[in-house]
Amino acid sequence: MAQRYVRLQKTTGKLCYGLLQLDRQVQVLDAPPWLSGQPTDEVLAAQEYHLLAPCAPSKIIAVGRNYAQHAAELGNEVPKQPLLFLKPPTTVIAPGAIVYYPPQSNRVDYEGELALVIGDRCTDCTPEQAQAKIWGYTIANDVTARDLQKTDGQWTRAKGFDTFCPLGPWIVRELNPEARLQTFLNDTPKPAQSAIISEMVYSPGVLVSYISQVMTLLPGDVVLTGTPEGVGELQVGDRVRIEIEGIGSLENTVASKLP
């Protein structure tokens, strides 16, 4: 199995990065792995930590309509260039954490996506250079208030609520381009979304290159590569699980926001 890189909070409160072993023990690293973090002698048992999102990005750059069939299901064309938007870092939540359904919306959707984690400062890169700046891969849910996305005309509010970016559970260094992404709701065995990663219109290297011509990407930043067809509605109480072959699965539940 591929090495799994995690970020966690110890029961003492301290945050750190680590390597997750098959027995759920974690070998602690002395820095983020993309900043040359090295294994220390410290090993944590499963009850001595809980997982956080696997990185703490300065920004999350997301891409709209990057799978042709998803663009079509919402009545849109595939854009002639990548369509970018930002999600604030405060959207990020850990695997297992709660997505809060905002009172301003009556229609909140899941969007299962492959997330790229940037390992090195990235400005004005070619696609080949950009590919080398992608340190690893994880899973994201680009949660979207679909009604507000339509009424606002731009997407800041629809995509930007606190808890609207579940991320994790860990990062792997390599990904098979033929890996399948699937999204499952509650106990329904049939996936709501199911697509091969390589069906995306603009590849990871092209996306990171395109973004790097606008803004500098920093180590730990995250790029969401778009969702395939099959997006749908979440209800309070739902469990949503996104799986990508070769990475793992990211599961979160939906709850109403407490007053």
Mention every residue, 6+ apart, whose C-beta is less than 8 A from residue 191: 182, 183, 184, 230
Identify which of residues 111 and 251 has a Cβ nearer to Mg ion in the complex: 111
Q: Which residue is nearest to Mg ion (CB)?
A: 142
Identify which of residues 142 and 221 has a Cβ nearer to Mg ion in the complex: 142
Strands annotated E in 142-236: 144-145, 165-172, 180-185, 193-196, 222-224, 232-234
DSSP assignment, residue 122? B
Supply 81's token pair. 């260039």
Q: Which whole-number Å values give the CA distances from 129 to 63, 101, 225, 248, in the listed order? A: 20, 39, 18, 27
Identify which of residues 7 and 87 has a Cβ nearer to Mg ion in the complex: 87
Query: What's the closest the beta carbon of residue 189 comes to Mg ion, in angstroms?
Result: 24
Give CA–CA dist 227/178, Å, rounded: 15
Query: What's the closest the beta carbon of residue 85 comes to Mg ion, in angstroms?
Result: 9
Identify which of residues 6 and 115 has a Cβ nearer to Mg ion in the complex: 115
Identify which of residues 229 and 245 has a Cβ nearer to Mg ion in the complex: 229
Partnered with residue 26 across adjacent β-strands are: 20, 44
Give CA–CA dist 226/105, Å, rounded: 22
Q: What residue ranges bind Mg ion (CB under 5 A)?
A: 111, 142, 227
Identify which of residues 227 and 252 has a Cβ nearer to Mg ion in the complex: 227
Identify which of residues 111 and 243 has a Cβ nearer to Mg ion in the complex: 111
DSSP assignment, residue 179? P
Give CA–CA dist 130/119, Å, rounded: 10
What b/e readout covers 18-48, taking b as 16+ CB neighbours within 10 angstroms?
A: bbbeeeeebebbeebbbeebeeeeeebeeee
Query: What's the closest the beta carbon of residue 139 comes to Mg ion, in angstroms?
Result: 13
- The number of helices, as runs of H, and strands, as runs of E, in the chain is 5, 20
Query: What's the closest the beta carbon of residue 222 comes to Mg ion, in angstroms?
Result: 12
